Structure 1
Amino acid sequence: MSTAAEAAAQLIYPANVQANTSLTTVKFLSSCFAGAAAGILGLENWLGFALFLASTLFTTFCIHTINCRGTPAKFIQGGITELVNPGQDNVFTFVLVWTLFYGIVHVYD
């Protein structure tokens, strides 16, 4: 007989854990590219954050339709709310890359 802990451990499938880790990588790269685009375009204030919001929603839509096949609760523990959540690290990454590219491109404006 198996205990409850062993039964819960059997539910964790390494391939699924690796796939979910790649989803966070996709969201991270999306915030990096959005930050670079906002910096190169010279967006300031709320326009830059609007681009980040649009990028997050577009990435969520792509993951929802392509990877999760329309049922994110089946693949991700938090479901759609976990997909839409940008994450604190991704917001900070966006701001860092945004200011970096803004400073590089628009240094003498």
Structure 2
Amino acid sequence: MSTPAETAAQLIYIPNVQYNSSLTSVKFLAACFAGAVAGILGLQNWSGFALFLASTLLTSLCINVVNCHGHPAKFIPGGWTGLVNPGQDNASTFILVWTLFYGIVHVYD
């Protein structure tokens, strides 16, 4: 008889884990790009965060259509909420890149 831990471990399929890690890389790069765009455009306060929200939704929609074929619950734990959740790392990366590019481009304004 298998224990609950062994049963849960049988649900992990290594190719799916590798596939989902590439999805997190796509979300990370999208957050970096959105931060660079917000900094170059000189967005401040809520307009910058609105761009981050829009880029997160657009990235999630593209991943849903292209990779998940319209069924995110089949591939990502939590379904839509797991797909749309930017995560603390991506939000921090967005703010870091946003302030970096804002400082570089608008230093003499």
Give the distance between the partners of 1:72 and 1:55, measured in 2 at CA: 18
Give the distance between the partners of 1:22 and 1:97, measured in 2 at CA: 21
- Pairs aligned (count): 109
How far residue 96 of structure 1 moved from its aligned partner, in angstroms, is 0.3
- Structure 2 runs not aligned, ≥5 long: none
Partner of 1:59: 59
Give the distance between the partners of 2:3 and 2:44, measured in 1 at CA: 56
- Structure 1 runs not aligned, ≥5 long: none
TM-score by length of 2: 0.93
Give the distance between the partners of 1:61 and 1:100, measured in 2 at CA: 27
Are residues 1:45 and 2:45 paired?
Answer: yes
Fraction of identical pairs, as percent:
76
Letter in 1 for 2:99: T
Partner of 2:10: 10
Partner of 1:97: 97
Give the distance between the partners of 2:15 and 2:30, measured in 1 at CA: 23
TM-score by length of 1: 0.93
